[in-house]
Chains A and B, each alone.
Chain A
């Protein structure tokens, strides 16, 4: 697999023949998030998030899920991108108990 994050290919024609050459990408042009720390301007907080491309994909997915409407009535919009998992079900049970105690 070609490492497309660090390398790109250039196609040049020399004497009617194609020749491919590999170049290394400028590291400054990488897909890294950079956020300035508002306390000391020399620090970059976003440097550590090396999975940032994945996070962007998640944002795209969420936006797409909200954008595309469906034929059947949408019961919940957040349910389009937040799955009902065991934590949420546990949480609803806890809240029920908590409310019954209060009453």
Chain B
């Protein structure tokens, strides 16, 4: 007989619900048999289940947890209850820690166990390597928690399939009699001695309460694993009340809440309305699980996959337009690598869009050449090097044919402005009289924005160098797209508002790549023989290098001569 419960909250199932539950389990088993997957990982039953032989290792695990992370921790039956994890910055970190510990204990003790599930992972084919890594990781974790770069590589092992891979067995047989009595007394639950219990982890925050139940797991793993509930102070008081008078326990309320898959952990964190829903009963909850996040003027109105503005959180979490079906099945660093390529393919302008740009620029050239027949009109910047976003602006410079430049920059630009306005060529135009004067305009037909500058060779000559280096290091291009869009969402994309222009971003990326090429042996030894071949490694390394490690106060960057760094004080900058 299977039964699920959560300690700390009174819940007992009525007969109908138990029947339904049994039926679900039966269906799951049937599905498992149909799919012919003999590996136990694929079944939801093994997701969270313990081996009874490992009780000693659990005690060790608890002690470790007590020392390192939590204030209080109890092993109660088939549940781990962790209370007040105040020392933690993030919840997920603790989850990771728990999983690691469980994994390690299982590896150390359960090697001789024939029932041990096989570890299916793309990255590590042999089990011995993963053992080494896990032990190494633990040492690092204990020594220095801030040294996160090294431990990042471990995350490839943290698949949901691998996370807690302990065997299911009769854990209930080893339940102490004291515990059974306690359950009877406090929660009026009867547990038969032969029952095979469903295990669950309960994490108690100050007011929040997260549970991982076997019931809530779908066999596909695509939907949410976690169901969560907020528990206010009032509810806590209620529980104490029920403890004194166990006859008052309401049966139907809580069970529904726990099995409802539409609630995700994230939902409880950022919507206040969720709290209201968790307190209401019955059918109202199901109606109200759809909540508007988007503002009314957002453009997902007409989108095909989303029928209306309101949608489930599950649906939203799983929707990433750039990801392809192939990469969904991958895991770890390979997935990140493939995703960056997908994002590049998704966001890079199509050939049609580029053609439109070329046509409009050609028209502009003709217009300007009527005014200045002896001058060259050249494009530079991100567009000719093909590192531009589909709506980013085109940079154009006007250069004299010979080196005689008698007229000033402002005069030339004013003439061009008049010409453009006369021919009704632009929607919006403005002359910015800064140190480097610029015309900023948006064209009427195609709505492309354009920056025109005059008599400045700097950007035009850099174009050739960038082209060469992009041929040498072709993997910089997809990385630029990812970082550029990431900065664009935070409005740090353009140099005149204090952000990083694409030219600067290119410089930073190139200098990091040069640094990696030079110090290959050193970096590989630091990260336990990891190979810096994938785009994912480069992206994480870049973020680590410039986000945390680099000393911007004293040191400057140069890309010349294969890349070097200089002291700011020497240059006087």
Contact = CB atoms under 8 A, between A and B. Distances in A.
A29 B504 contact: no
Nearest to A71: B95
Nearest to A47: B573
A28 B573 contact: yes
A71 B225 contact: yes
Given A63-B543, A78-B340, A46 B504 contact: yes
A7 interface: no
Contact-residue bracket for chain B: 35 or more
Nearest to B458: A39
B498 A70 contact: no
Contact of A48 (B90, B160, B498): B498
B508 interface: yes
A73 B222 contact: yes
A64 to B, nearest CB: 8
Contacts of A36: 556-560, 566
A102 to B, nearest CB: 10
A93 B304 contact: yes
B38 interface: no
Contacts of B546: 56, 59
Contact of A34 (B322, B497, B568): B568
Nearest to B210: A71
B500 A55 contact: yes
B31 to A, nearest CB: 18
A84 interface: yes
Interface residues of A, number: 60
Interface stretch (B134-142, B241-249, B346-354, B521-529): B346-354
B465 interface: yes
Interface in B281-303: 298-300, 302-303
Contacts of A88: 321-322, 347
Contact of B540 (A35, A63, A70): A63
B129 interface: no
A38 B466 CA distance: 11
A1 interface: no
Interface centre among B300, B321, B546 (most CB of A within 10 A): B321
Contacts of A70: 92, 95
A10 interface: no
B298 A28 contact: no
A51 B497 contact: yes
Given A77-B336, A88-B321, A93-B303, A66 B152 contact: yes
21 contacts: A28-B568, A32-B573, A33-B552, A35-B504, A35-B559, A38-B465, A46-B556, A48-B496, A49-B499, A49-B504, A50-B498, A51-B498, A67-B148, A69-B155, A71-B160, A75-B320, A76-B322, A78-B340, A82-B489, A84-B319, A91-B321
